[in-house]
Amino acid sequence: MGTLAKAMALGATLGVIEMVQTSRGRRLLALVSLAAITVVIVLARPVRSIPPGTAAVRVNRLTGGMAILDEGWVVVLPGVHDLRTYPLHDQVYRPTDATKAAGAGAFQSLEGLSIGIDVSVRWALDPSKMSQAARMRPDQLEHDLVRPTVDGALHRAFARHTVREIFATSRAPIQKGLEDELRTSLVAEGIVIKAVAIGGIDLPPQYKAGLEALLSEGLLTEKMRYTLELKEKGIKQSELEAEADKVRRQKAAEAAGQEQIIAAKSQAEAMQHVLPLKEKEIQQKRLEAEAAKIVRIKLAEGEADARRIEAGGEADSRRKLADSDAYRLDVT
């Protein structure tokens, strides 16, 4: 095989030499060379596009230098440059082997129990620190950097807490502590931790039943405490309402008394004006009675004088008649 390859190479060399010696051969060789160069350029793709939402790192294989490139067009020389593209959108890492208590990646609590926890970590590359992230290939970032860092932080965090704390009482503080720890650990690598979410928790069946019963008792205790607080508030409200009603009655009684006092004062002031009028009325009636009495006396005196005059006239008439009768008798 080696001799045959050498013979073929020697034959091709001789053929090229003979081709170069003629004008037609030189033209044909130029066309073949141009075609070969075109095929190499097409296959090597020296001009490439960086799509939106993506950052690229061009590594010079000769000098080892790196250039951070934004979206757009970029020249990549075959054999000289190595172009790596990194997505800038949010990515989610979820340790699927740790969601079940019997899983291979189950977490250990402070009591030593195996628990499965559905945890998701949302992360993204920091465009301003691409030089740190570019030390790894895009497919290595999650597997060789994000995954071991997150798994280690999760196991350390859950091992410091009891199952009850993880399951119910301290979930939010644990989540906040994980976010802070992961941000501090990965920020120097050019990775930004956006959020850590703790989802469902898978407990051993017996422990889960006991914990649920304990939580139910705790909920009943809390319910009883709130019920007692509501009753105390109801009693306090009734006392306040009774006190308010008492104050309203007192105010109403005071208002009624004030009204009576004002009415009495008004009546007394009215009597001060009415009494002089009554006295004047009585005085007027007295004067009217005196006047009527005087009128009656005057009328009686007038009637008496009239009767006396009438009696005197009648007596005088009878005397004159008697004198006339006597004179007549004397004449006869």
Residue 211 has pLDDT above 90, yes or no: no
Residue 151 scores a pLDDT above 70? yes
Mean pLDDT of all residues in 118-146: 81
The residue that leads in pLDDT, 214 or 240, is 240
Q: Yes or no: say if 108 and 114 are a contact pair by the CB < 8 Å rule.
A: yes
Query: What confidence category does residue 227 fall into, taking pLDDT thresholds of 50, 70 and 90?
Result: confident
Indicate the pLDDT class of residue 25, thresholds 50, 70 and 90: low
More confident residue, 276 or 238: 238
Q: Encoding tokens for residue 160?
A: 């410091």
Confidence band, pLDDT 50/70/90 cuts, at residue 253: confident
With a pLDDT cut of 90, the percent of the chain lying above it is 11
Work out the pLDDT band at 329, boundaries 50, 70, 90: confident
* Residue 119, Ramachandran bin (φ over 0: left; ψ between -120 and 50: alpha; else beta): beta
Query: Are the C-beta atoms of 110 and 162 separated by less than 8 Å?
Result: yes
Q: Measuring CA to CA, which residue among 203, 201, 154 is closest to residue 179?
A: 154
Instruction: Kindly state the average pLDDT of the residues 206-225.
Output: 74
- Is pLDDT at 124 greater than 80 in this prediction? yes
Q: What is the pLDDT of residue 35?
A: 58
pLDDT of residue 296: 86
Query: d(Cα 4, Cα 71) in Å, to the nearest integer?
Result: 51
| Statement: residue 28 has pLDDT above 70 | no
Lowest mean pLDDT among 150-164, 185-199, 315-329: 315-329
Q: Which of 49-53, 86-90, 180-184, 199-203 has the highest mean pLDDT?
A: 180-184
pLDDT above 70: percentage of residues in the chain: 78
- pLDDT per residue over 261-285, tens digit each? 888 787 777 777 777 777 888 888 8
Task: Return the HEC string of the chain.
Answer: CHHHHHHHHHHHHHHHHHHHCCHHHHHHHHHHHHHHHHHHHHHHCCEEEECCCEEEEEEECCCCCEEEECCEEEECCCCCEEEEEEECCCEEECCHHHCCCCCCCCEECCCCCEEEEEEEEEEEECHHHHHHHCCCCHHHHHHHHHHHHHHHHHHHHHHCCCHHHHHHHCHHHHHHHHHHHHHHHHHHHCEEEEEEEEEEEECCHHHHHHHHHHHHHHHHHHHHHHHHHHHHHHHHHHHHHHHHHHHHHHHHHHHHHHHHHHHHHHHHHHHHHHHHHHHHHHHHHHHHHHHHHHHHHHHHHHHHHHHHHHHHHHHHHHHHHHHHHHHHHHHC
pLDDT band for position 223 (cuts 50, 70, 90): confident
Residues 95, 154 contacting (CB under 8 angstroms): yes
Q: What is the mean pLDDT of residues 183-211?
A: 83
Q: Which of these ranges, 33-37, 83-87, 266-270, 327-331, has the smallest mean pLDDT? A: 33-37
| Least confident segment among 31-35, 122-126, 323-327 | 31-35
The model's pLDDT over 31-67, given as tens digits with 9 standing for 90+, comes to: 656 655 555 555 545 666 677 777 777 777 777 677 7
Encode pLDDT of 88-121 as tens digits.
888 899 998 888 888 888 888 888 888 888 999 9
pLDDT for the residue 79: 65
Question: So what's the pLDDT on residue 262?
Answer: 85
